[in-house]
Chain A
Amino acid sequence: MNGQGVPDGAGSPAEVDDGDRMYLARVRAEIDEEVRRRRAAGDLAGQTESELEELFLRHAPLGSTRQELHEVLRLVDASAFIDPVVPVESSRPGGAVVKKGVRTLNFWYLRFITHQVSKFATASSRALHILDQQLCDLSTKVEALEVPPSVVVDVGWAHRTDSWWVPGVVTELEGGRRRVLHAACGDGWLVHLLAATNVDGYGVDPRPGRVAGQELGELDLREEPVLGHLEAVEPGALGGVVLCGLMEGSGHGERRRLLEKAAMALAPGGVLVVHSLSPSGWDEADAPPEADIVQARPYRPGTWPYLLGEVGMSVAVTPGPDGRDYLVVGRREAGPSQSR
């Protein structure tokens, strides 16, 4: 049986239609530009701005993925100066006079201490600003390299229930007691099929909006990056991992990481299924557009025993009926029962 999940879609407003999305993106860009303009114009007194920054960041989550280093640095800058002039207000009669006297007597000492602390804080802040700048420069350079992002290759004729490789995979996974992950699951077509045969399947798909149509249904489908998902899976927890359209378009390094994480997620005896176009299928006229767009190309079938052998799996490769695609079934060696 399956649970159900709502895909996240955070950062990808799948619910908003295209016209609204473009308009809202423009509004957001205009807001950002206006904020930059006002900050550059310095229309707020420095001390006021520092106080407001500190006030905002005081309760911001430490691990917020929304904050950037330069934003947090604003708080560092705001706190770098240690004021030796201690407030002397008092609610008691004469208290302010006493406090002022104490402050005067200690001022030379406090000023000496706070001056050194401020100097240290300012130096630290400057170092962090340099680091931030270097990170920004590095980021710009990396972006300039234009490493194409990994894509899911949509092969309509192969990623469907009546494709030649599907019945065998379902049979392979039947009877297992652990969950089976399908990545990239699209609208959940394989998860649905697995559920019909009492296989406890669930799916993830990194493509914005691809599982959105199924989010209120009964299947456990999630919009998540596949690698990130596998990294958050308890090692040895899954009975099967099915990878569809993920190998053809990703770089070699990412493929290896994906395979390592998938293998790690499998329990002993667990099955890794990879469906891939063959290099010849990649070159055919009806190949998906990614064949021209991405730098990667599919592995040859004979490469898989070597690759999966490295992560401790036995492998069988079955070519498709017309040579355009093939199926890899790797099995993690069964060992002693692994306790979760």
Chain B
Amino acid sequence: MKVAFVTPRYGPEIMGGAETAARQLAEHLVAECGWEVEVFTTCAVDHITWDDVLAPGDSVLNAVAVHRFRSASGRVREFYEIDGRLRSAPAQASETDARRWLECNGPVTADLLEALRGTDADVVAFYPYLYYPTVAGMDVVSVPRVLHPAAHDEPALYLPVFGPTYAEADAICYHTAAERRLVQRIHRVAQVPQIVLGLGVGDVVEGGRPGGEILGIGDRPYMVSVGRVDEHKGSAMLARFFRLYKERHPGPLALALVGPVAVAIAEDDDIVVTGVVSEADKWDLVRDAQVAISPSALESFSLVVLEAWEQSVPVMVNATCDPTREHCERSGGGLWFGSYREFEVVLERLIADAGLRRLLGGRGHAYVKRYYQWPALIRRYARFLTTVGERGPRWAGVDP
């Protein structure tokens, strides 16, 4: 079986969730199923500029064949004008405007499409829905197409240019059932063969250092938030909430923000911003935390929540983020907050109640073991791709 992935960025240097997910699926298909996998992507690292940074051409990365192509254009200035105009009523945008939005968002990659046309893969997987290579690429392949939307509830999802992308997919692979509900609320694709898959949690790589030592806070208890420190990820809100919490609850509790920093958060005695840390340090930091928190409202899966549960650490999530809240509701492994007051009450309760923390952490751990272990997960995905391939293009087979 041979699978091709189409994703606008690819490689270990890419921080994007969807692109990382594509790479993990590709590499696990090779490693655990022995499949042949190739990737069609650009030379970009940055998803705003789409500048060609990596070398074009063919290479092999962890046994996956990677074909990189230059972009004819990345995000252009006109994008911001169109985006501003369309985002208030995206569903009412004209086809022309929506198409223009897509092209202005980049990366426009004619060479990639030409190469994709000649692929000898049995199935082509597109990841995520949002960019030109997926929308245009769906039209050029003659083998079955699997769409991994990685959809958020964002204005772009409503743009008419994406309607055919969803409608023409031969199969859809969702991260969560919440993502499926979101997509089906907007696009009539409930009949399309599909799977709710998610991602596997990697092996725990512990360095054996106490988390407090890594943070330089000694034995103080702390809560941890792993992921890009970014305004859009809720990091600034979390820092503000936590500062007020500490004003109202003086004590030793600290907050660790762990990940690449996109927005400046002032450090003080109670908040530590680590920047990027090693895998071993990350696992150590999570292991010793009282609580792991995902403040982001815009997640389509959130691996960091599952990684906390892998180590039996309870989680707190943003109540308006359907996928992370769904994880908590299904697993019984976490609580959610929809305001500062809820944040305060939930955190008070978790810090004060070790039994509750143990229960939540244990429930979360069992959930991860059941659904999100790589060997089992990738075998499910491989079975799904096999059935998609056997159905052939246009799954219904009614328009031969």
Contacts and interface: CB of A to CB of B under 8 A. Distances in A.
Interface string B78-101: 000000000000000000000000
B195 A13 contact: no
Interface residues of B, number: 77
A12 B331 CA distance: 10
A5 B195 CA distance: 4
Nearest to B342: A35
Given A6-B371, A232-B185, A20 B178 contact: no
Contacts of B249: none
A208 B359 CA distance: 23
A60 B297 contact: yes
A15 B370 CA distance: 10
A6 B332 contact: no
Contacts of A34: 345
A31 B349 contact: yes
A52 B234 CA distance: 12
A202 to B, nearest CB: 7
What does DSSP make chain B's interface, helix, strand, loop or mixed? helix
B190 A229 contact: yes
Interface in B335-382: 335, 338-342, 344-346, 349, 356, 359, 363, 366-367, 370-371, 376, 380
B325 A200 contact: no
Contact of B232 (A12, A30, A59, A339): A59
B188 interface: yes
B153 A62 contact: yes
Contacts of A64: 153, 297, 320, 322
A48 B399 contact: no
Nearest to A48: B244
A48 B248 CA distance: 13
Contacts of A177: 396-398
What does DSSP make chain A's interface, helix, strand, loop or mixed? loop
Contacts of B180: 8, 222
Interface in A40-57: 44, 48-49, 52-53, 55-56
B58 interface: no
B56 interface: no
B70 interface: no
B331 A16 contact: yes
A279 interface: no
B177 A35 contact: no
A8 B383 contact: no
A38 interface: yes
A145 B370 CA distance: 42
A178 interface: yes
Interface stretch (B61-69, B131-139, B387-395): B387-395
B261 interface: no
A59 B234 contact: yes
Interface in B295-342: 296-298, 318-322, 325-326, 329-332, 335, 338-342
A340 B296 CA distance: 38
Contacts of B182: 63
Given A1-B391, A15-B367, A10 B338 contact: no
Interface string B128-158: 0000000000000000000000001111000
Contacts of B339: 35, 52-53, 56, 71, 74
Given A7-B177, A15-B370, A59-B298, A178 B193 contact: no
A24 B332 contact: yes
Interface of A: 1-16, 20-21, 23-24, 27-28, 30-31, 34-35, 38-39, 44, 48-49, 52-53, 55-56, 58-67, 71, 74, 177-179, 181, 200, 202, 216, 218, 220, 222-224, 228-235, 237-239, 265, 267, 337-340
Given A4-B383, A64-B320, 7 more contacts: A9-B329, A15-B366, A59-B231, A179-B193, A224-B190, A232-B188, A338-B398
7 contacts: A3-B195, A16-B331, A61-B297, A62-B153, A64-B297, A223-B177, A232-B187
